[in-house]
Amino acid sequence: MASFFFFFPHTMKLPMFAAVFFAVLSLTAAASCSKPLYACDSSNSLTKTLPFCKTSLSIKKRAHDLVSRLTLNEKILQLVNTAPAIPRLGIPAYEWWSEALHGVANRHGIRLNGTIKAVTSFPQVILTAATFDADLWYRIAKAIGTEARAVYNVGQAKGLTFWAPNINVFRDPRWGRGQETPGEDPTVAGVYSVAYVRGIQGDSKKGGKLGNRLKASACCKHFTAYDLDRWNGITRYVFDAEVTMQDMADTYQPPFKNCVEKGRSSGIMCAYNKVNGVPSCADHHLLTATARREWKFNGYIVSDCDAVSLVHETHNYAKTPEDAVADVLRAGMDVNCGSYLKEHTESAVEKNVVAVTDIDRALHNLFSIRMRLGLFDGNPTKLPFGHIGPNQVCTREHQNLALQTARDGIVLLKNSANLLPLSKSKTRSLAVIGHNADNPIMLIGNYAGIPCKFVTPFQGLKSYVKETIYHKGCNWANCTDATVDEAVKIAKSVDYVVLVMGLDQTQEREDFDRTHLGLPGKQEKLIAEVAKAAKRPVVLVILSGGPVDISSAKYNEKVGSILWAGYPGQAGGTAIAEIIFGDHNPGGRLPVTWYPQNFIKVPMTDMRMRADSSSGYPGRTYRFYTGPKVYEFGYGLSYSNFLYKFTSVSENKLYLSHPTATQPAKNSDSVRYTLVSKLDKKFCESKAMNVTIGVRNEGEMAGKHSVLLFVKPKKPVNGSPLKQLVGFKKVEINAGDRSEVEFLLNPCEHASKANEEGLMVIDEGSYSLVVGDVERPFDIFV
């Protein structure tokens, strides 16, 4: 979607900065309504008897009746995100475009300028993912769904369709939008998508209880293989992602498959880019054959904004605008974010390149969603979800949830000589240095609303140490100007120094990818000089969405501790301070690999996941990357030491010879394999391994800990992942105590890989279960 970012003068003071930011948001908002808009008003004698208003009929029949009553012009006007009212049928206008990436966003269909003026701002998704806590993810999404309904119920929303989550795999560390995703692992992204969709749509945590109704509508994006915005002169608007069938099957598609099949998302957004020569929004195989037929998707498909125009104007896939309209409608897209369909569909019909039946199909999908949201059942405030009001926005529960997420997501990357936690009683003076230390806007990342409140790192730390000095250090994240001498002078005068450095939305964002992986400008110099001058080793806090090569700080003995805090949301400063002073034991883990600076030699346009030793291509993500790392996926320290032991594994040998399957084949490495498609679901479940892992807290402090279980082949062949995630679970263990964590390893899901034809296979051979530095071997026979 189009970039949304405000730039402010560097000279503006921070309180004024925040005030102006939110004033701009408010000024862009139209006057809000006093009540929600809806159709089928019982007091309207003209429409209340029409079949599409009868709740006793199925939604399919109601949608069919409604569409049958529309003129061609009325139909065409409904094919864009800003759908106008149809007064003669009592149907109000509807805005399909609203955002709720990590809280309800104040843009497009949402206006926080009435009774509700703020919403809970949770940490940016990449930090939320670092908690590795699916239950927490669900509770966040449930809270967002509640606040979204509240905004709608007071008439400050023009729609209830939210274009989130972003579940593209964070393939390249330079990607400006990686911050919006759950990270680089397709399993994690899939689990996150399910938790988010179920939560915001009003389903139960395990799914299956929602039925056909929606509290709010989720939309999984960007379908598919989208993870380049603007790099080296190449933009998402022209990029053709060349993806192998192998990578498509086991990296790019699984998050979307889970989103649809398990999460039951009611929306999908097709991406700007082409995939193997075909624009995503014009790809019938992608939208219809795969999503609707194979995965049984039941919902609407929206284009990314103005993506339809690109089919003709930049991709040159369609010869004329009318052909572009025909291509996307025939492919299965339903609504155009933008105006292209409004402008060109009528002429496309007149030229007989678009069939009205394709328009009708799209409208059936669109009106079905609005009916599932209850917007055609009379006054929604008198229906389920109608009781949700302003008193359920910015609640103590939701704000505590935002704080908990920041606490649990922050990752301790270094803690030499146990510098942290600092003593609350012995720390008499503190310096907080850095451009991100007292800048509230940078806490919330992009696609954010107006938070209930802000606590910056400086404010959080000052609540612990009265004598706390703040110094900005760098003029901005680009740090073209650093007041090193003054920072050094301050560092010499205090007991401890906390440097709050890193990136912000000027360095990474939508439509803006990074060109380097190090800290920008003079940040490294500032860190090194301050660390050298300080009385004791310093604490470094990095705020960023993407990974940063901080090798200089990692190996600097005067940098005692390093925390990565993502963009931690409205309560980020409190969470950072609580961890630094020991009121919370850090337990976050990196959801992405942190690469060294020289990784930028790899073209961002190379979509291959697997390494190629013949060309020196190192591969991507922990599953395939063979090069050096600054920090690896899943890395994260604690103030405690957690020890693992495989308590029990139900099988040491798995025999996967199905009685009705054909003889196993051999791949190019002469390794026997079996096709997963030849093994039915019940057979796969019957071969599942029960794995129990004992976890002991050997430290002196209670803590939450994420247990990540991997499986790896002894000899990776034919594109096998070096290792891949089986699952993850969060446990909380008191000092000296022990807990057990159970996993179920289904070989068809967790030990399979894609072959070069994009088919899932299981190789015969020796494997290991891996948790931390402990391994347990097992064998698979096919």
* Residues forming the active site: 304
Say if CB 289 and CB 258 are below 8 A apart.
no
Whole-angstrom Cα distance, residue 378 to residue 26?
Answer: 30
- Can you list the alpha helix ranges (DSSP code H) found in 514-593? 523-533, 551-554, 572-580
Bridge partners (DSSP) of residue 739 are 695
Say if CB 718 and CB 755 are below 8 A apart.
yes
Q: At what angle do helices 254-261 and 186-201 cross, to 10 degrees?
A: 30
Whole-angstrom Cα distance, residue 172 to residue 310?
Answer: 24
Say if CB 231 and CB 515 are below 8 A apart.
yes
Whole-angstrom Cα distance, residue 123 to residue 444?
Answer: 6
Tokens linked to 660: 């009705």
Backbone angles phi, psi at 771, to 5 degrees: -140, 120
Angle at 325 between CA 322 and CA 327, to 5 degrees: 110
Amino acid code (one letter) for 426? K
Say if CB 729 and CB 741 are below 8 A apart.
yes
Minimal CA–CA distance to 572: which of 735, 685, 403, 426? 403
Whole-angstrom Cα distance, residue 220 to residue 302?
Answer: 10
Say if CB 252 and CB 243 are below 8 A apart.
yes
Tokens linked to 182: 């759950």
What sign does the CA torsion over 765, 771, 772, 775 have?
negative
- Alpha-carbon 506 to chain mean position: 20
CA dist 54 to 333, 369, 385, Å? 28, 16, 19
Q: How many CA atoms does the CB half-sphere of 401 hold within 13 Å?
A: 24
Tokens linked to 346: 């009528």
CA dist 80 to 87, 629, 698, 711, Å? 18, 45, 58, 46
Specify the DSSP class assigned to residue 84.
Answer: P
Specify the DSSP class assigned to residue 123.
Answer: P
Whole-angstrom Cα distance, residue 521 to residue 474?
Answer: 9
Tokens linked to 598: 């020289």
User: Which pairing describes strands 753-754 and 411-415: parallel, antiparallel, or unpaired?
Assistant: unpaired
Does an H or E element contain 341, and which? helix 340-350
Whole-angstrom Cα distance, residue 382 to residue 386?
Answer: 5
Whole-angstrom Cα distance, residue 406 to residue 508?
Answer: 20
Write down the residue that tokens 């000092």 correspond to. 735
| Torsion-angle region of 398 (φ positive above 0: left; ψ -120 to 50: alpha; else: beta) | alpha
Angle at 734 between CA 728 and CA 735, to 5 degrees: 115
Angle at 130 between CA 128 and CA 135, to 5 degrees: 60
Whole-angstrom Cα distance, residue 145 to residue 139?
Answer: 10
DSSP SS3 for 362:
helix
Whole-angstrom Cα distance, residue 98 to residue 46?
Answer: 31
Whole-angstrom Cα distance, residue 484 to residue 527?
Answer: 9
DSSP SS3 for 644:
strand
Whole-angstrom Cα distance, residue 514 to residue 604?
Answer: 10
